[in-house]
Amino acid sequence: MSLIDYLYVDDKRLGAYIEQIGPPVTYDKVPVWKAEFGLTGPKAAASQERPGRAMTRHEMIVKLLRHLEENNLMDTTREPARHLWDGTDRNDFVYETCAASKVIIPPKPDAQLRGLVLWISTAPPLRTRTPDNKLPEKVSGSCLRPGMLCLFEDFQKGDESPYSGFHVSAYTVLESIILAIGENTQTPIVSDLFVKRGQRHRQTHRLEVWDQAALYMEEFVKDPVAMLENTGCRAARPRNIRVLYRIREFGPEAGEYEQSVSRGVNPSTSVFGYPIFIAAER
């Protein structure tokens, strides 16, 4: 059996989910040998004990995947984000395999804190294997094409129902990134993307974020990784990953919906979310 290379794990969320499924304890069968002495001489007796121990990170991941799969709580392609849009399903867990680039947003030179990490995939997802390493027999159909995927490591906000960009006149993943980072004290190098709030309320309105993002939107939609690199971020070459994530926001990239409708084709749906774990896919 090949070993799994975990590139990232959200241990806090993983532990919280496992506690809801059952105690994070597993039991190993351990043979126990006892020596006995009788009239005919010494003899050995075997028995088994099942001592409890804390589950390993890998065991918790496998348990979570099986629970989500057995209870139909996750999708195995990016496309079923449409279910959240039309209200036919509330699944916001997705388990997929794709090629993605790791993008590091460093702090400014005078900041003493670490940067932020994004994973961005602009390629269509690959077929994702189940927890038992089998390809799913059936893949959900979709009326929408998969678009960009952007995942934000160490997402600090709570789990909420996904926000749909289909409900507004325009949307972009760049807007989601700006809102997710918010007023982060790490003063990321991409601070020019952020609205200058002045004395206004700390919670920036989405419209203000949209206005600020619009200055960089066209470049971002064409090549999000290159655009972030131009602002001082560091990006690695794309690699195949297997990831379980939760959808935070989704919608068609700015201008894409109108262009698709005018051409008579279905729009693509970009997804912004946060990973529970990311593993290298060989």
Distance CA 39, CA 78 (A): 71
For 47, phi then psi, to 5°, come to: -145, 175
pLDDT-above-90 percentage for the chain? 29
Pick from 11-25, 118-132, 236-250, 264-278 the range whose average pLDDT is largest.
236-250
How many CB atoms are located within 10 Å of the residue 13 CB?
A: 17
Higher-confidence position of 64 and 193: 64
Query: Which residues are CB-neighbours of 52 under 8 A, at least 6 positions away?
Result: 25, 26, 27
Number of H helices, E strands in the chain: 7, 13
Q: Is the pLDDT of residue 12 over 90?
A: yes
Residue 69 buriedness (CB in 10 A; 0-12 / 13-18 / 19+): middle
In tens, the pLDDT along 169-203 reads 678 888 888 888 875 545 556 666 665 554 344 44
Q: Which residue has the tokens 């918010």?
A: 182
User: 81, 247 in Cβ contact below 8 A?
Assistant: yes
Does the model's pTM come out above 0.85? no
Taking 50 as the threshold, does the pLDDT of residue 138 lie above it?
no
